Amino acid sequence: MDQQANTLGDPLDRLMAAARGGNSAAYRRFLAEAAQRIRARLSRKMGADSELEDLVQESLIAIHEKRHTLDPGRPVAPWMFAIANYKLIDHWRKRGRNIVDLDTDADMAIGSESFAATDIEALLEKLPEAQAAAIRMTHIEGLTNREAGERTGVGVSAMKLRVHRGMLRLKDIADEDRLND
């Protein structure tokens, strides 16, 4: 079995192969499927961002313009997601990465109203230093979990755990402070 036959298990691969053969209906279906997958992937990374649809469209345009660079023997999805990730990185660079770029679903469940009108530094001082440092690096300085982990000498999972636990504790502290006011 050749390499191209190995990649045709994903509908995106079959649709792109048909599109390359001149099937315009297959290309329209490819773009619709790609849009759904890119939207799902980016929404997990961005959260509920008002610019999500713009980013999906920019990704689709880039995929259309760069489709000639895709090796027919390689799977489409990794190539497509790499393009979408580059568009997301460009988006963050242009607008400045969102300071509260939370990584886990549990962190996303903590509403911004929990921290509105609160001195974040004063809250961070109430956390264990490792958690406070993790939150400063990832949510204030904008480092990735990997970069923050490398800076402190811990793994990505440990950094995610520190951020997650710190964010949960910050929410509790902010709620306690609000009740005491």
CB half-sphere exposure, 2, CA atoms < 13 A:
4
What is the per-residue burial (b if ≥16 Cβ within 10 Å, else e) of 17-53?
bbbeeeeeebbebbeebbbebbbebbeeebeebeebe
pLDDT of 50 strictly over 50:
yes
Is residue 142 a contact partner of residue 101, using CB atoms and an 8 Å limit? yes
pLDDT of 12 strictly over 50:
yes
Mean pLDDT is lowest, of 59-73, 102-116, 137-151, for: 102-116
Query: CATH classification of 105-180 is 1.10.10.10, yes or no?
Result: yes
pLDDT of 111 strictly over 60:
no
Residue with tokens 């053969």: 21
- Which residues of the chain form beta strands (DSSP E)? none
Q: What's the rounded mean pLDDT across residues 98-105?
A: 43
Residue with tokens 């920019």: 58
Q: What is the mean pLDDT of the chain?
A: 78
| Domain boundary assignment for the chain | 3-95, 105-180
- The CATH class given to the 3-95 domain equals mainly alpha
Residue 13 and residue 30: Cα distance in Å, rounded?
9
Q: What's the rounded mean pLDDT across residues 54-70?
A: 89
Q: Which residue has the higher pLDDT, 136 or 123?
A: 136
